[in-house]
Structures are given as structure tokens and as C-alpha cells.
């Protein structure tokens, strides 16, 4: 039964979204608002359940004062953070904001260095090695040339219109634009594939809904 209910509701909302074919209308906007509202409400409920309630429930009466104070600190910081919404008391929320930004920056920077920059540089450097073979060398060379030429495209100094560029710089910029275009095309293809997959699922869901509706009508009419 829940599956049937979900099927019916999902099909109706899908048709509301498809109404955009005839232009922007109230039904389409209502469906969008429903999506945004449901997502926000669900996220709030999850945050309250898994953060606030669990944190409060973890405080046991038998816990020592030190442990209770330990649980009190995040609650106090969270309460101070809520004061950011009040202009008169917003200054008190700067303590929580500073703590969050500091910790977040520390974790993010370490992760970016050790998880993104260094490993990817190692991977790129490994691909350029002569020992890796011709295909690997070509792959690494393409990666290197594409990365450098793309940097030429986005360099602010080289984008000045009143400055005459040297031919090699001009050609590197053009090559970089080509790599950027190809990258964007690949990203677009992936997004299109994902969208088409979702479209297929929705249309098949509508087909199931239509079949279900046909069966229902048949049972009602007795034919």
C-alpha cells in the first residue's frame, strides 16, 4: 500500500513538472515549492533527531559534573550561534562562528593537501614517466599540457585586452580554451545521461501508474 501511494503521488507530481511543456504555470511552481519545502522540513527533522535529541539523551543523571559540562559546551555554543539571527545580539554568535570556521578550515586544508593536491600531482607525475609506456606517457602529457594551457586561459594577467600577447601565449590560450571546452562537454554529457536516466525512470513510473489506473478502472467498470 505505501508503494502504491508513493506511486500515485509521484506520478501526479511528475505530471505537474511535465506541465512546464506548455510554459511556466502555477502547477509547475507548486510542485517546485513542494519539493523545496519537503526537503527542508525533512532535513530539519533529521538534524533535530540525530543531533539535538541524541545529544541531550546522552547526558545521564549519573554522569559526573565534568562530563555534564562537556556536553554543555556544544549546547551553549549552539545557542550562541542561534543569536546570529538577532542583530542586537549577533555579536555573541561570533564565538561559535569562529570556532566552526577555525576547525573547518583546519580539517579542510589538511584534507585538500593530503587528499587532493599531493595525490593528484603524484598521479600526474607518474603518468609522464617514460617507463610507464607510450599510452601512459601520452596520457600524462595530455594531462600536463591540458592543465597548463587551462591555467593560461584563466590567468588574469594574460586576459588584459589592452596588452599585446606574444604568439606563443596566444596559442596556449587557444589550446587551453579547447581543453576547457572538451571538459565542459564531457561534464554536460554526464549530466545529460543522468538526467535521461531519471527521465526514463519517471516515464516508466508513469507507465506503471497508467497501468495501475487502467486496472482500477477495469475493475470498477467490470470490463
Partner 1 sequence: MIRCPKCNALNKDGSSFCNKCGSPLQKTQIRCPMCGTLNPVGNLFCDRCHARLVPLEKVIPPESTAEPEETSASRVQGISLPTRPAATGEGAADKGEESLNWLEGLLKPESEAETPPSETSLPTAGLPDWIADLAPAEPEVQEEAEAETTVAPAELPAWLSGLTPAEPTEESASAPAIPQDTELPEWLAAQGEEEPPAALSTPEQEAPPAPAEMPAWLSGLTPAEPAEEAASAPAISRDTELPEWLTTQREEEPSAALNTPEQEISPAPAEMPAWLSGLTPAEPAEEAATSALDTLSDESQKPTPQEEVAAEIPAWLADLAPAGTAPESKTVIFTDEETTSAQEIKTPVPELETEKAHKTPAWLQEITPAPETISPPPSVPAFTLEEGEPPAEETGEGVVFLDEPAELAEKAVEIPDWLRDLAPTSTEEAPASAALQQAEVPQWLESLRPPGTGPLPETALPDTEPGSIGEEVAGGLIKAEIPTWVQQLRPDTTATVAAPSPLDEVATSPQEEAGPLKGLQGILPALPVVDMPPDFQPQPALGASSQVMEAAQLWQDLLQHPRSTKRPVARAHARPGWGQTVSRWIVAVLLVLAALAPILGFLPETLAQPPLQAGVAPLQLAVEGLQAGDTALVALEYGPAEANEMDHITEALLTHLMEHGVQVVAVSTVPEGVGLIQTWLDWAETRYQPAEGSLVNGGYLPGESNGIAQFLGSPQRTPKPDFLLVLAARTGPLRWWVEQNAVAGSRALPMGVGLSASTGPRMRPYLDVYGVQGWLIGLPGTTAYWQSRGIRPNEGLARRLDALLLTQWVAAGLLLAGAAYYLTAGKKGAA
Interface with partner 1 (CB under 8 A): 21, 23, 35, 39, 42-43, 46-47, 49-51, 87-89, 103-104, 107-108, 110-112, 114-116, 119-120, 122-123, 186-187, 189-204, 207
Cell digits of residue 188: 554536460
C-alpha to C-alpha distance for 140 and 128, rounded to whole angstroms? 5
Q: At what angle do helices 134-153 and 167-221 cross, to 10 degrees?
A: 100
Distance of closest approach, residue 155 Cβ to partner 1, in angstroms:
21
Closest to 12 in 3D by CA, of 190, 213, 192, 194:
213
Which of residues 69 and 192 has its CB atom nearest to partner 1 in the complex? 192
Distance of closest approach, residue 23 Cβ to partner 1, in angstroms:
7
Maximum distance among all Cα pairs of the chain, rounded to whole angstroms? 82
Distance of closest approach, residue 184 Cβ to partner 1, in angstroms:
10
Which of residues 76 and 108 has its CB atom nearest to partner 1 in the complex? 108
Which of residues 119 and 141 has its CB atom nearest to partner 1 in the complex? 119
End-to-end Cα distance, the chain: 24
Distance of closest approach, residue 103 Cβ to partner 1, in angstroms:
6
C-alpha to C-alpha distance for 218 and 221, rounded to whole angstroms? 5
Which of residues 86 and 160 has its CB atom nearest to partner 1 in the complex? 86
Which of residues 82 and 171 has its CB atom nearest to partner 1 in the complex? 82
Q: Is residue 5 within 8 Å of residue 11, measured between CB atoms? A: no
Which of residues 109 and 217 has its CB atom nearest to partner 1 in the complex? 109
Distance of closest approach, residue 164 Cβ to partner 1, in angstroms:
18
Q: Taking the alpha carbons of 30, 32, 35, 41 in that order, is the dihedral positive or negative? A: negative
Q: Is residue 101 within 8 Å of residue 89, measured between CB atoms? A: no
Distance of closest approach, residue 222 Cβ to partner 1, in angstroms:
27
Amino acid at each position: 500500500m505505501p508503494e502504491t501511494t508513493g506511486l500515485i503521488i509521484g506520478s501526479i507530481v511528475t505530471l505537474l513538472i511535465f506541465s512546464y511543456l506548455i510554459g511556466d504555470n502555477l502547477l509547475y511552481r507548486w510542485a517546485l515549492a513542494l519539493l523545496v519545502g519537503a526537503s527542508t522540513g525533512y532535513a530539519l527533522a533529521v538534524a533535530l533527531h540525530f543531533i539535538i535529541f541524541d545529544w541531550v539523551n546522552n547526558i545521564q543523571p549519573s554522569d559526573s559534573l565534568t562530563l555534564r559540562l562537556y556536553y554543555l559546551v556544544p549546547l551553549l555554543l549552539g545557542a550562541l550561534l542561534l543569536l546570529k539571527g538577532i542583530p542586537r545580539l549577533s555579536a555573541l554568535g561570533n564565538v561559535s562562528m569562529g570556532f566552526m570556521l577555525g576547525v573547518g578550515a583546519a580539517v579542510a586544508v589538511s584534507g585538500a593537501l593530503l587528499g587532493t593536491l599531493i595525490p593528484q600531482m603524484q598521479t600526474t607525475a607518474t603518468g609522464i614517466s617514460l617507463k610507464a609506456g607510450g599510452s601512459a606517457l601520452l596520457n600524462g602529457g595530455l594531462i600536463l599540457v591540458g592543465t597548463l594551457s587551462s591555467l593560461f586561459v584563466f590567468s588574469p594577467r594574460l586576459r588584459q585586452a589592452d596588452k599585446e600577447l606574444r604568439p606563443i601565449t596566444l596559442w596556449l590560450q587557444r589550446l587551453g580554451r579547447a581543453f576547457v571546452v572538451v571538459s565542459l562537454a564531457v561534464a554536460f554529457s554526464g549530466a545529460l545521461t543522468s538526467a535521461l536516466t531519471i527521465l526514463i525512470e519517471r516515464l516508466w513510473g508513469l507507465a506503471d501508474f497508467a497501468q495501475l489506473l487502467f486496472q482500477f478502472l477495469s475493475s470498477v467498470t467490470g470490463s
